[in-house]
Every structure is written in structure tokens, then in C-alpha cells.
A and B are shown apart, each in its own frame.
Chain A
Amino acid sequence: MTNIYKVLRATVEEVIDESPIIKTFVLIPESPFKFNTGEFIELSLNGFGEAPFTPSSSPLITDKLEITIMKTGYVTEKFHQLKSGEVLGIRGPFGRGYPVEKFFGKEVLILGGGCGLAPIRSLLFALEDVKDKLQRIILCYGSKSPSDCIYKPLFSRLNRIDKFETYRTVDKPEPGWKESVGVVTTLLDKVRMKIENTVAVVCGPPVMMKFGTIRLLEMGYKDDQIYLSMEKNMSCGVGKCGHCMMGEFFVCKDGPVFTYEEVKNTPDLWK
């Protein structure tokens, strides 16, 4: 039996600046690391702290792992000081990721905000691999400003791939910005989907998840067509410590990906 609290060591190979407060860490695990897209890991700073992140890299690659981290608190600030060559600890993968096979034959609408694009990038890699089995993949992404927009090369790359379409918006434009301005839900007016044959994936800050879901419901999406990636304080990752309880659910074990149908009755869902 393996000890669920022991880590797999991984070395930082490269640190990529994505935005003023977001960095991507390319990790080389000491042995191949498999995960399904949307599942998360617990990443440890030796003797300092541990936090949950969903890999932003392709689930098809097992010798390298990319984690995108926004500087937002005590532990993430320390992550941002990391240099290549340093050693981190990985536990996982944990939880239930995106049910990609359930998307077969359908159009996939992805609504992302801010650093919520990290798990979505991994999902996009997974969807690219099975694009023959999908109708269309539409990515709508919103960030605060153009310089807060992460994975800039991703969009032009996706736009060159058959079946993929991307749309971007920012709250505050900067000189030279030629794309949309406004909250991410405004992009939904630009895309025409066959709603009855579409699944919607929403991932971003809680307020964006809330208004994104409300807008999708108004447009006619059913509760079980909307997939949410919930952000809670997953600490042990294995359904024991209780910090990520959301009603009867352990987000770490039952999620982090839920349909809106599954969680809609949870009190304070968006907090």
C-alpha cells in the first residue's frame, strides 16, 4: 500500500512568465506521472506548504508536467520565487476530471477567466487529440487586461487547427488591443451553437463562474450540460481533511469537475 501523504519529487526545469502575477512551472517528475485532464495535484514546497493545482499541460505527456500558478497568497508567493533546478513534491493525481468521452459527437463551448485558463489548456490539448470525434471546440476567454491574458501563443495556434475557434475579451483594453472589451459572457453573443448538442465548460474565478453559469442557463443550456471546475481549499486531496467540503461532497474526491446539476443545491455555491 502506498502512503497517500508521501510525495513524488519533481525538478523545476523552466519558469515561464505568463503575466505580471502568473507563472508557469515546467516540472520533470522523478518517474512518469499520469493524469487525466481536469484532475488536480497537491504541489509541495519542501517544509513550507502545499497547495492544489490542476496541471495546465497535456495529459498525453507523462515525463513533463506544467503547473500555472497565480500569485495570490502565502504559498503561491513562495512558489513564484522558485528557480529552475529546485525540487518540489507532487501528490496525486486526485479527483474527477473532465469526462472527455461524454463530449464525443458534440460541440464544446469553453468559458474561461483569468488563471482558470490553466486547467482549460490541458483540456484543450486533450480535446485536440480527439478532435475527429467532436463537432466544434469554441474557447471564450476573458482577462482583466491584455497583459493579464495568459498563454498568448495558444490562441493563434488553436485558430489554425480545424474545428477550433477562439474569442478573447478584456475588462480594460490597452493601446493596440483589437479584440473584444467587456466581461467574458459578452463573447457568448458572438458564437452560434446548437445548444441542444453542446456541452459548456466553465472555469475561472468564482464571480465569473457564477455569472457565466447564469448566462448559459438563460441561453437555454440545461443544468447537466454545464461543467464547472470548483475552487475549494483542497488540502489532503483524498476526502479526509474536510477543508473542501461542499455540502455532502468532498470537492477533492467527487470533483473538482461537477455538472451544475450535481451541485446546484449547495448553499453558498459561488463563495
Chain B
Amino acid sequence: MRLQFYSGKMNNLYRINRGDWHRLIQSLSVSSYNILAPVRNNGGIDYTIINNETRDEIVYNEAKPATPLKMFFLPVKLNVTRTVSDAKKTIIIGAPACDIEGLKLLDLIYLDEKFSDETYLSRRENTLLISTDCYCTQEHCHCTTYGINPYPAKGCDISLSSDKVDHYLMTWSEKGDQFIKELASSGQIDQVDKNKIEVISEQRNRTIKSLSEKNESIPGTEITGTIVRESGREIWKKYSSKCVSCGACSAICPTCTCFLLIDRPGFEKVKQLDTCQYPAFERVAGGEDPLKALSNRFKNRYMCKYAWRPKRYNVIACTGCGRCIEACISKINKNELIMELI
């Protein structure tokens, strides 16, 4: 089972005054929607439930919320044998393009044709994704290194770009167009020629240029795959010697999705996020454990991101969001490791 997105040029472009948009979102937040959007916190920005107190604080077009988008579809702990349908729909505003790209891999894993995950699908279907351009980036952002643009494309329902006066909303699914129609019934939204998107392309190009310049020495998808695959043991021993197997890199990664299935009375199953970085992840009852050594576990994550998942799903499993670098308490920088392999 797959979610439907527009193919070809079926998408539409709308323009709305920033103040009008703000009022419309305010009116929505008290009706039938749960709205989540980034607001500023101590260290950066992160998703918050939008209510009367937070509605004036939404931050647009900044990279990137601390929480990866996956958390809304794959919560840390979830009973997957109970189907609870939320009467309210969820709107997530401000997901960056890198996280939308990461969601594509999650969809491939969780919505495969034979074994679709019901709880994941219902959350995906019940959520409207409004993804935003990144006009300012963070220190470790490097999406362009892996061929991902710092602005949304296919994979979200609506993409939001802005200039000083207006927001430009491009629809990428029927769900997105229906939502715009709903908004238009209570406010002024103009459909405009798709070429109008050019007014924001200058800003987009500036972001791409700054990212590309900053990260020019980090190798791209194919080279990274090759050098990680062909690497010897020493580099992994060296970098993993600082690793404490805390699993923060996986928890914060928009594409790390591995989980533990826990049994509960009544044959219920609870899914809890897990990671190959924890000891005994692959251990079998007989005692064999290919990932027993810390350096093997450490390398496993890189192999998964840059070699195995791309080979299997034909998508890169690292979106260049840089969260793993920020989250590492041992200050392990995966880009330094990759550059050392060249």
C-alpha cells in the first residue's frame, strides 16, 4: 500500500499574504486539527503543539527542528496491536526537505506491498505535511552533498516558501489541494501561475550555494558508498574507541527505524525504537552475534546508511541533516571519518 503523490506537473501554486495565513492557521488550531510547528527554544527550533499560547511563535523557513520527522510516525514506544484512530487530523508545519526525503525510505520499509504496517499507515494518512524551504542552515547541515535540495519537493502534501510579504504554497498531493480548498473557504488564497515560484528561486539558490561551499570537501553518495564498503578495520576501531553505544545518533536520525518488539499479556505487541548500536542487537539464541564488537556495531550503521539501504531501496539513507553529529556526546563527526577514508 502506498500513499499517493502527484506525478508529473499536476501540482498547483497558491499565494497567501503572511498575515492572512497566520489568521487561518489560528482559526484551524481551535477546530478539528492537531497542529505541530517549529518554535524557538533554548538551543534552536523544535516542534510544539500550536495553541493559543504558541501560535504567534511559529518559525518559518529555518533549518531544522531538533526532532526528526520520523518521531510522529514511529513514536519511541507504541502498542501496535491496538488500533486507535485519532478523530483529529494532524498538520505538521515546517518539516525540512531532508526529513521529507528520509520519509521516503520509511515508506518503502513500512508500507511494502506484502506487509504494510497498519499503525504507520494510519498515522501517515491522518497527517498533512506542510514542508518548508530552509533559508538559513545550521552548522552541520549538508543535504546538498547527497543530492537533496534545501527546499521541499515530492513527498510532502504542501511545500511552503516565503518572501517578505507572502507565502507560496505548492501542492504535491490531492490531500494538499483539498486542504487549500478548505482554507480558501474562510480566507483569501490566490492560485497563481506556477512560474511565480521563480520569485523565491534566488533565495533557494543562495542556500544551495552556501551549503555547497561549506561542504565541498565531503564526498557525495556514490563515493561515500564505495569508500565505506572498501574500508579496512582500523578506521572503525579508531572512531568507535570514543563511542559509548548510547544510540543517540540512531534515535535522532530521520531514517533509523529499527525496533524491538515487546510482548504484553493478551498477545499484544509493543514496538520500541531500537538501534544496532546497542549490544546484542543481532545476537541469536545460540549466542552468535556478528555485532558483538563495538567497532562492528559502529561500522554497521555506516554500512546500512551508505551501502546496504541504497543498494536495496535505491535511495540514500543519510539525508545530510547532521543531527547525529550534533547529538554525539563523544563528539564523533561522521563527516570527519568519511573524509579520512578518502
Contact = CB atoms under 8 A, between A and B. Distances in A.
Interface string A33-73: 00000000000111111110000000000000000000011
B330 interface: no
Interface stretch (A98-106, A176-184, A229-237): A229-237
Contacts of B258: 241-243
A242 B255 CA distance: 12
B264 interface: yes
Interface in B129-156: none
Contacts of A243: 258, 260, 274, 281-282
A231 B282 contact: no
A49 B309 CA distance: 29
A75 B287 CA distance: 13
A49 B274 CA distance: 16
B308 A245 contact: yes
Contacts of A44: 263, 267
Interface in B280-315: 281-290, 296, 303-304, 307-309, 311-312
B333 interface: no
B282 A233 contact: yes
A32 interface: no
Contacts of A236: 259, 261
A120 B121 CA distance: 37
Interface in B228-279: 257-261, 263-269, 271, 274, 276
Contacts of B288: 206, 231, 271
A151 interface: no
A210 to B, nearest CB: 11
Interface residues of A, number: 43
Of the listed residues B116, B271, B290, B311, the one surrounded by the most CB atoms of chain A closer than 10 A to its CB is B290
Contact of A47 (B118, B266, B285, B312): B266
A46 B1 contact: no
Interface string A1-37: 1011111010000000000000000000000000000
A79 B117 CA distance: 28
A239 B283 CA distance: 17
B267 A241 contact: no
A247 interface: yes
B81 interface: yes
A5 B261 contact: yes
A240 interface: yes
B259 A240 contact: yes
B309 A1 contact: no
A50 B304 CA distance: 26
B73 interface: no
Interface in A194-228: 205-206
A240 B257 contact: yes
A76 B287 CA distance: 13
Contacts of B287: 72
A242 B274 contact: yes
Interface stretch (B4-12, B20-28, B107-115): B107-115
Contacts of A253: 115
B80 A48 contact: no
A235 B261 contact: yes
A248 B311 contact: yes
A1 B263 contact: no
Contact of B285 (A48, A51, A244, A247): A51
A231 B289 CA distance: 11
Given A3-B118, A206-B286, A46 B263 contact: yes
A268 interface: yes
B83 interface: yes
Contact of A4 (B118, B264, B276): B118
Contacts of A245: 276, 282, 304, 308
A238 interface: yes
Contacts of A47: 263-268
B83 A3 contact: yes
Contacts of A74: 285
B21 to A, nearest CB: 36
A268 B283 CA distance: 13
Contacts of B289: 271
Contacts of B312: 248-249
B261 A242 contact: no
Contact of A6 (B114, B257, B267, B281): B267
Contacts of B264: 47
A74 B283 CA distance: 12
A75 B285 contact: yes
Contacts of B117: 4, 238, 240
A173 interface: no
Of the listed residues B257, B267, B274, B289, the one surrounded by the most CB atoms of chain A closer than 10 A to its CB is B267
Nearest to A205: B286
Given A240-B109, A243-B258, A248-B311, A231 B286 contact: yes
A243 B290 CA distance: 11
Of the listed residues B271, B288, B289, the one surrounded by the most CB atoms of chain A closer than 10 A to its CB is B288
Given A45-B263, A47-B265, A233-B282, A1 B115 contact: no
Of the listed residues A45, A72, A231, A242, the one surrounded by the most CB atoms of chain B closer than 10 A to its CB is A242
A235 B260 contact: yes
Contact of B259 (A7, A72, A75, A242): A242
Given A231-B284, A241-B274, 6 more contacts: A4-B116, A46-B267, A50-B269, A241-B259, A243-B260, A267-B290
5 contacts: A3-B81, A5-B81, A7-B267, A238-B115, A241-B258
8 shortest A-B CB distances, which residue pairs? A242-B258, A73-B285, A238-B115, A47-B265, A248-B308, A271-B290, A268-B290, A248-B312
